[in-house]
Amino acid sequence: MPAPQSPKQNRMLAALSLAGYTHLLPLLELVPMPAGYVIYELGLPIKYLYFPTTCIVTRLYETENGACTQIGIIGNEGLADISVLFGGERSRARVIVQSTGEAYRIKAGILKSEFEAGTELRHLLLRFAHALMIQTEQIAVSNRYHTVDQQLAYFLLMSLDRLSGNELHITHEQAGIMLGVRRESVTVAANKLHMAGAIHCRRGHIAIADRKQLEASAGENYKIVKEEYERLLETYLSSASRFGRSPEKQFKRFFQSIE
């Protein structure tokens, strides 16, 4: 039997004080998030913001000629799409569900009011926005200077860090769309990582075989982003501690070594 859903599966919501959490709770709506579902389309108004709990969402930038590449991955550490809180009323990217799960959504106008009111949630949202900015910067660097196998290693680590297991359900074609490269390039890159002992591949599935090797293949970008998200979760933990809760019971280490 699947575990019951709770907004506290989102780490940002779990870091709120009891008063802050109970204030927000009636405003949250649990929604299914099937893989491939488009949350936001480029240029359309944003009506809801989403706190992922068991799903992963990906921001994709599309050019006028139809080419696209992923520019951000968000899981239970954050919120999609935070740009609304900084004045953006329309989506500047296509945002899709990469991995099936669930999320809690809230009306964009309501959360924007909460943010502008300077509540405790504002501090957590700003901290998350900073971490997301660092992630986007490193993706830009990787797209310019890194090989496809380095980009694939980074993408796999960022995705699997936000899932409970060590296996990602994704085809080479889907990974190619995320990375903005041809499917054949992903196949070659995956074979390289497989030969290096970093991953195991089977149709529609990629699993980590040796995490240290995969991190080494990803290069410095993943290390930079990993450290930033560890600081983000420390912020969540310290916020939970200030309100007398037991954070070690609410959080597992975000980046766990996979033997």
For the chain, give the mean pLDDT: 85
Confidence of residue 3 (pLDDT cuts 50, 70, 90): low
- Cα separation, 258 vs 35, in Å, equals 25
Q: In this model, does residue 247 exceed pLDDT 70?
A: no
- % pLDDT > 70, the chain: 91
pLDDT digits (tens, 9 = 90+) for 105-151: 999 999 999 999 888 889 899 989 998 889 888 888 887 788 899 99
- Cα separation, 89 vs 76, in Å, equals 23
Place of tokens 């971490």: 131
Give the pLDDT score at 251: 40
DSSP for 43-97, written as a single string:
TSB--EEEEESS-EEEEEEE-TTS-EEEEEEE-TTS-BTGGGGGT--B-SSEEEE
Give the pLDDT score at 250: 42
Place of tokens 């070594």: 257
Place of tokens 């080419």: 67
From start to end of the chain, where are the E strands? Answer: 29-33, 38-40, 48-52, 56-62, 68-74, 94-99, 101-107, 167-169, 199-202, 205-208
- Whether 236 and 15 have beta carbons less than 8 Å apart is answered as yes
Q: In this model, does residue 254 exceed pLDDT 80?
A: no
- Whether 66 and 78 have beta carbons less than 8 Å apart is answered as no
Mean pLDDT of 96-102: 92
DSSP code, position 162: T
Could you tell me the end-to-end alpha-carbon distance of the chain, in angstroms, rounded to an integer? 27
Give the side-chain half-sphere CA count within 13 A for 130: 13
